[in-house]
Structure 1
Amino acid sequence: MNLKHALAMLGLIGLSASAQAQDPNLARNLAATCANCHGTNGHSLGGMESLAGEAKDKLMQKLMDYKSGEKPATIMHQIVKGYSDTQLELITAWYAAQK
């Protein structure tokens, strides 16, 4: 892998703080990846829990528990490991702000 490819991959894996600050829709866009299971804007139609309006700290703790393996899961422990803690903070804050 050459340096250019490695840098491109790093850019895809983790976004810098300045990139996050420049995109006002980043939190919403990251949270949108949860819609398949947790519903549009975090309003589940059943099966999975709704995320909209949940306390940020509560959501973040659940995600950290999945990430560490403390909370059992079928898929969430794999999904959450794909996000940086900063990205998870953005996602949980966005869901907490939903009505």
Structure 2
Amino acid sequence: MTTRLILAALWVLAAAPAAAQPSGAASCAGCHAPGGSGPVPSLEGRPAAEIAAAMAAFRSGERPATVMDRIARGFTDDETRAIAEWLAAGTHRDHAARP
């Protein structure tokens, strides 16, 4: 009985995501795929502050872009920070294979 409970608890922990994917974060993986498999550089290993600062620069027009300026304008500062922290933590890799 104890072994079954332990196995059930381990299964639940393994199935649970490390952190909930913030709203809008799925749009990042289309181009910035984990492992550099996307058409533009991966965001893996980048600090959250760097990602958030880049998004702010795209949003303000300070940093030139083809599409990121338009995408960045769709997010608030709070949403941008949440996405940046989620990407920096590496939890996006857990969701990469999920629909």
Is the TM-score greater than 0.5?
Answer: yes
- In the alignment, which residue of structure 1 is the partner of 2:62? 70
2:42 to 47, 50, 71: 50
Secondary structure of the equivalent of 1:51? coil
**Structure 2 residue 74 is the aligned partner of structure 1 residue 82:** yes
1:25 to 11, 20, 32: 20
- In the alignment, which residue of structure 1 is the partner of 2:97? none
Counting matched residue pairs gives 73
Q: Which has the higher helix share?
A: 1
Q: Deviations over 1:21-50 (max 9, x none)?
A: xxx6242x53211111111xx433153011
Percent of aligned pairs sharing the same letter? 33
**What RMSD, in angstroms, separates the aligned Cα atoms of the two structures?**
1.8
Distance 1:46 1:38 in 2: 5
Distance 1:46 1:76 in 2: 15
Tell me if structure 2 keeps the 8 A contact 1:37–1:44.
no
Q: Which of the two has higher C-alpha Rg? A: 2
**Structure 2 residue 85 is the aligned partner of structure 1 residue 93:** yes
1:34 to 12, 28, 32: 28
Structure 1 runs not aligned, ≥5 long: 1-23
- Under a length normalisation based on structure 1, what TM-score does the superposition of the two structures give? 0.65
